[in-house]
Amino acid sequence: MNSIMENNQLPQKFNLRGLLVFICLSLLLVNVCLFLAGQPHLELFAENKAIENIEVCFLVLGFFAFVYGFFTCHTQSIALCSITICFGFILRELDIEKFDFPHWIIFLGSGMGRNVLLAILGLGSLAFLAKEMNFAKIIGLLKSHFAICIYGVSCFLVLSWAFDKEVFSLQNNLIFEELSELNAYFLIFVSSVIYAFEYRR
């Protein structure tokens, strides 16, 4: 009985390979189209313009999908860590101080206040993750479709950082930087949907 209960806490097995292939091909097509459109219209990739607004939309969708998953899936610590990550990226992309919010919201959403808030949420999420996970769950997580998306997110974020710091001396660094972030945030949203399937109760 214990082994059955333990197995129920691992990611459920179902075929997502076709969906992942479709997502990769779609990402490739969208990236090519946006790159071609961005060369004569670089303003699309400027701060707080179209591409950045789409990035925030993907983060918000992922945030609420993970919130839904927290209440409907097992291994809730994964959802909680993901919610914290989405929240952190949303605050990073939005300039809270430019909005007409109360001072305490601006303090918590920017600068030192934001860093302290995210540190507290991050430590709490990691503590919950460490308490809930065991070796079998960790191995199951690392081999899950959800993890494959997170690996992709990590790669695109590293690429975005590299283009931002001009590690690569390319003519279209800004376009490549924003496209990398767009891909990363889209995959965060995709991972939230996959989490809801793989870890559903």
Rounded mean pLDDT, 1-11: 53
Cβ partners under 8 Å of residue 11, min gap 6: 140, 141, 143, 144, 145, 146, 198, 199
Report d(CA 201, CA 193) in Å as an integer: 14
**47 or 124, greater pLDDT:** 124
> Which one-letter DSSP state was computed for residue 11?
P
Structure confidence at residue 127 as a pLDDT band (50, 70, 90):
very high
pLDDT of 88 > 60? The answer is yes
Is the CA virtual torsion 25, 50, 36, 154 positive or negative?
negative
Is 161 within 8 Å of 174 (Cβ atoms)?
Answer: no
* The pLDDT of residue 5: 40
* The pLDDT of residue 108: 85
End-to-end CA distance of the chain: 17
Nearest to 194 by CA among 153, 163, 161: 153
Mean pLDDT for the chain overall = 87
In this structure, the number of other CB atoms found within 10 A of the CB of residue 97 comes to 13
CA distances from 187 to 8, 56, 63 (A): 26, 13, 12
pLDDT of 143 > 50? The answer is yes
Q: 3-class secondary structure for 96-153? A: HHHCCCCHHHHHHHCHHHHHHHHHHHHHHHHHHHHHHCCHHHHHHHHCCHHHHHHHHH
**54 or 2, greater pLDDT:** 54
* The pLDDT of residue 129: 94
Structure confidence at residue 39 as a pLDDT band (50, 70, 90):
confident
CA distances from 190 to 62, 89, 186 (A): 8, 16, 6
pLDDT of 169 > 80? The answer is no
133 φ, ψ (degrees, to nearest 5)? -85, 150
